[in-house]
Amino acid sequence: MSQRMVYQTEETRQKILIAAETLFIEKGFFDVQMKAVAIAVEISRNSLYRYFHDKNDLGYAVLGVVLSRIESRFNLLLTDPALNVGLCGRERLRMVLKAGFLNEHLRADFSFMAEFDAHFSGSRIPADFQSRVGNSVSTSMWSRVGEIVAAGMADGSIRQDFSQSDLEALMLYSMKSLQGHILLRRSALVGLSSDAANQLVPNLITVLIDGLKPTDSQ
């Protein structure tokens, strides 16, 4: 066992993750220093580095926790009997997007993801980013959404001139990108009142779902 592992306890690790997530959301990923996390947990900075090599390492760990929570909530939603009673695939997808991306319980989780994405962009994307993030992302939620898209294509409620994978990516990345931008800018969205800003995500859901309707040429 390495010297690094000897001094680790799961209780302290969880305290670090909770404190770091709170700081990342409140202050932004870029502005949070490891020293601030150590102070919040009431441990020394040297002790903090026994658990995480650097801020990026800590950020990946928090991302794993956040994605796990999001997946749990989405899985509860996707197994809701209401989604399987007389609804076509396109309407089931509408319910999933509204219940997921308009869910106040997930607001803090999406806020962290917005801060995470804003930090790991441009020249700040490390070489190991894809592999590190890929290890945190479970494919089960994505595949469950894919099942709904496939069901909609099969029952004729979703257009078939795009592949299933293209439609999945379009739905999820469009929602995540717009919501993240709103959460980062909050009341500073240029040219929009707060009421108009609050309607952006619901309106996007409407446009995306309506855009999934089969075209006349199909």
Query: What ranges do the domains of the chain cover?
Result: 8-52, 62-211
* Residue 218 banded pLDDT, cuts 50, 70, 90: low
* SS3 label, residue 196: helix
Q: 47: closest CA among 18, 13, 17, 1?
A: 13
Q: Quick one: tokens of 55?
A: 């801020």
Fold exhibited by the domain 8-52: Arc Repressor Mutant, subunit A (1.10.10)
Residue 3 confidence (pLDDT) above 50: no
Q: 20: closest CA among 4, 40, 5?
A: 40
Residue 161: its pLDDT value, please? 95
- CATH no. for 62-211: 1.10.357
Contact 71, 136 (CB under 8 A): no
Q: How far apart are CA 36 and CA 42, in angstroms?
A: 10
Residue 214: its pLDDT value, please? 94
DSSP class of residue 215? P
* Residues 136, 103, 119, 125, CA torsion sign: positive
Q: 177: closest CA among 150, 149, 200?
A: 200
Task: Tell me the backbone φ, ψ of residue 144, rounded to 5 degrees.
Answer: -65, -40
pLDDT single digits (tens) 46-80: 999 999 999 999 999 999 999 988 888 888 877 77
* Residues 56, 39, 31, 172, CA torsion sign: positive
Contact 208, 97 (CB under 8 A): yes
* Residue 2 banded pLDDT, cuts 50, 70, 90: very low
